[in-house]
Amino acid sequence: MNKYVVASAPGKLMLLGEHAVVYGHPSLVTAVDLRISARAERLDQDQIIVESSLLDRPHDYPLAIALDADLKEVPKGISFVLATIQVLFAEFSLSAGLKITTAGPKISYGLGSSSAVTVATTKAIDALFDLNLTKKQIFQYSYQAVLDVQGAASGFDVAAAAYGGTLYYAGNGETIRPLQLDTLPVVIGYSGSKVGTVSLVAQVAELREQFPEFVAQAFDMIRDLVGRAEVAINNGDWALLGQLLNLNQGLLDSLGVNSQQLAQLIYASREVGVFGAKLSGAGGGDCMFAVVSDSHTQAVIEAIEAAGGQHVDLPLQAEGARIDDVG
């Protein structure tokens, strides 16, 4: 019987489908090797202890938390961990003492730390208690935990953390289809500002309520772009993918989720000869990316930095949730 298990899960980079994915439309996402880890340890005493370095103001001591604690009353960096424990303990009638210790990079660049810590916690508990969960089940239980915390979520980031690689994702997880790729020639730029996804999703929801026909048409076009982009990626047609990215960016602009800093990075990239460039995620800040040829990669990196951004040098198509250590 394992006394402890350390698991980790990657972040994500949304390629196409932002905001439309919230309403069940498809998206394309790739896992980014920005890993969050969770160490699950059995305790002799019957209590739940959570320790996290991912808090805005990390505690110098572990927090003992009641299993039935209100998720709204615990620090945000711990709420996803506690929600995961609640979901799995209820589903599998677990009652043992448990300590979860999470860790990861101080800067996540908006690339999915919440989903990664949730999936890493699920994976660690899975191995610690020999639950033998499939990737689909790890996704499902993790997605439920995220919903318990946030109230609403599309789940594409959870899927990326659970499965890894590059995925076609639709219908709030009804369809998760891995793409078989050797490479994905992308350069990532960080705008320097971290934004909250929930407020931007609410902003688009308000626009959708005000202009339902327009937003519905925009989402339909995004859906079609995602379908064509999947074919382009499978064929390695990066020039076509770039055109589709630019079209998707135009639709995101119309939804009002771009920012001046992101736009500067996007256009700076385009001016030095990329196939295409767009923001990634909810918008308002965080990251953009460009699809480039090898001969233009360095020029794009320099253009992003000259425009005030930061080049994020992280491998794509990262491995999904995995076990890193057992003792």
Dump pLDDT digits (tens) for 53-104.
765 555 555 788 888 889 988 887 789 999 999 999 999 999 889 999 999 9
- Note the pLDDT tens digit of each residue in 235-278: 999 999 999 999 999 999 999 999 999 999 999 999 999 999 99
**Alpha carbon distance 166, 221 (integer Å):** 21
Of the candidates 73, 66, 68, the one whose C-alpha atom is nearest the C-alpha of residue 47 is: 66
Q: Indicate the SS3 state at residue 109.
A: coil
Catalytic residue IDs: 157
Quote the mean pLDDT of the chain: 93
All structural domains of the chain: 4-181+316-321 (3.30.230.10), 186-312 (3.30.70.890)
pLDDT at res. 222: 98
In the chain, the amino acid numbered 176 is I
- pLDDT at residue 9 above 90? yes
Q: Indicate the SS3 state at residue 159.
A: helix
- Note the pLDDT tens digit of each residue in 136-181: 999 999 999 999 999 888 999 999 999 999 999 999 999 999 999 9
Six-digit token string for 228: 């064509």
To which H or E segment does residue 81 belong?
helix 76-92
pLDDT at res. 56: 54
Torsion of CA 10, 253, 269, 242, to 10 degrees: 70
pLDDT at res. 119: 98
**Alpha carbon distance 190, 183 (integer Å):** 21
Q: What is the pTM of this model?
A: 0.94
For residue 71, what is the DSSP state?
Answer: G
Residue 64 region by backbone torsions, left for phi larger than 0, else alpha for psi between -120 and 50, else beta? beta
Which sign, positive or negative, has the C-alpha torsion 283, 287, 290, 291? negative
pLDDT at res. 11: 96
